[in-house]
C-alpha cells in the first residue's frame, strides 16, 4: 500500500520526468559513461523539488445536510414534548416557541438563508438539541421534588422564563435572516441602478 501511494505521489512523478530527461541526455551522448549517475541524480532532484503531498480535507456535511439533521431532531423533540404535561401558561409559551422554530426550519426561504448563516444554524441547533429539551426536562424533575418539599418557588416559573428567553433568541435570529434578505434586495437594486447609469430602474 505504501509503495503504491509512493508510485502515485508527486515526488515520484516529478522524479520520473527528470529521470527521463536524463535518459534523453544519455541517448544524445551528453551524459557519457556516467549516465546512471546523471539519471539517478536528476530523479532525486525532481523528487526533492516536487511539492509535498496534501492530505485530503475531511468530508464534513454541508450546511444543507446539517439543517436536514436539525429538522429530523426537531421532529423527535416534538414527540417528546407531546408526552410532557405542562401548566397552561408554560404550554402556551412552548407552543409559540415551537411554531417559531418550525418556521425557521421550514425548507423554504428560511431554510435557504440558514444554510448560508452558520452562526444562525448553530443557534437553532443548540435550541433544538440542548436548550429546549433541557428546560423541559429540568421542569419535570424539579416538579417531582417540589411535591416532596412544598413551599419552594414553583418550577413552572423558571420554565416560563426559559421558554421566553429561547423565544427571544429565535426572534433575534429571524430578524437577522430578514435583514440579510433585505440587504440582498437592496444590493440587487443598486446593481440595476448602476447598470442603467444611475438613473434608476425605468419601466
Domain ranges of the chain: 2-49, 63-195
**C-alpha span between 117 and 105 (Å, rounded):** 13
Rounded mean pLDDT of the chain? 79
pLDDT band (50, 70, 90) for residue 39? low
- For 47, the 3-state DSSP assignment is helix
**C-alpha span between 175 and 110 (Å, rounded):** 11
Whether residue 36 is predicted with pLDDT greater than 60 in this model: the reply is yes
pLDDT digits (tens, 9 = 90+) for 48-90: 656 665 666 666 666 677 888 999 999 999 999 999 999 999 9
pLDDT band (50, 70, 90) for residue 198? low
Higher pLDDT, 87 or 28: 87
**C-alpha span between 139 and 135 (Å, rounded):** 6
Q: What is the DSSP letter of 150?
A: T
pLDDT digits (tens, 9 = 90+) for 104-143: 988 776 677 777 788 888 999 999 999 999 999 999 988 8
Q: What is the DSSP letter of 128?
A: I
Identify which of 136, 128, 131 has the alpha carbon closest to the alpha carbon of residue 155. 136
Torsion angle of alpha carbons 16, 20, 23, 27, nearest 10°?
Answer: 170
How much is the average pLDDT of 173-196? 88
Q: What is the pLDDT of residue 99?
A: 95
Phi-psi region of 54 (alpha: psi -120 to 50; beta: other; left: phi over 0): beta
- Cell 452558520 locates to 118
How much is the average pLDDT of 187-202? 76
Identify which of 54, 60, 30 has the alpha carbon closest to the alpha carbon of residue 42. 30
Per the CB < 8 A criterion, the answer to whether 84 and 136 are in contact is yes
Whether residue 161 is predicted with pLDDT greater than 60 in this model: the reply is yes
Q: What is the pLDDT of residue 117?
A: 82
pTM assigned to the model: 0.64
Q: What is the pLDDT of residue 79?
A: 94
Q: In sequence order, what DSSP letters do the residues of 22-36 get, joined into one string?
A: HHHHHHTTSSGGGHH
Amino acid at each position: 500500500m505504501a509503495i503504491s501511494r509512493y508510485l502515485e505521489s508527486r515526488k515520484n512523478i516529478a522524479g520520473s520526468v527528470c529521470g527521463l530527461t536524463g535518459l534523453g541526455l544519455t541517448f544524445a551522448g551528453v551524459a557519457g559513461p556516467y549516465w546512471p549517475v546523471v539519471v539517478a541524480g536528476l530523479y532525486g532532484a525532481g523528487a526533492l523539488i516536487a511539492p509535498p503531498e496534501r492530505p485530503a480535507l475531511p468530508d464534513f456535511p454541508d450546511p444543507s445536510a446539517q439543517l436536514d439533521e436539525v429538522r429530523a431532531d426537531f421532529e423527535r423533540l416534538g414527540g417528546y414534548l407531546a408526552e410532557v404535561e405542562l401548566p397552561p401558561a408554560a404550554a402556551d409559551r412552548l407552543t409559540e416557541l415551537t411554531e417559531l422554530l418550525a418556521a425557521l426550519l421550514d425548507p423554504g426561504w428560511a431554510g435557504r438563508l440558514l444554510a448560508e448563516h452558520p452562526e444562525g444554524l448553530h443557534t437553532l441547533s443548540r435550541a433544538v438539541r440542548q436548550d429546549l429539551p433541557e428546560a423541559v426536562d429540568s421542569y419535570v424533575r424539579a416538579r417531582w421534588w417540589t411535591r416532596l418539599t412544598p413551599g419552594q418557588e414553583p418550577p413552572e416559573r423558571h420554565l416560563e422564563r426559559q421558554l421566553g428567553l429561547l423565544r427571544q433568541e429565535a426572534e433575534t435570529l429571524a430578524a437577522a435572516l430578514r435583514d440579510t434578505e433585505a440587504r440582498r434586495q437592496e444590493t440587487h437594486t443598486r446593481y440595476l441602478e448602476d447598470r442603467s447609469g444611475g438613473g434608476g430602474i425605468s419601466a
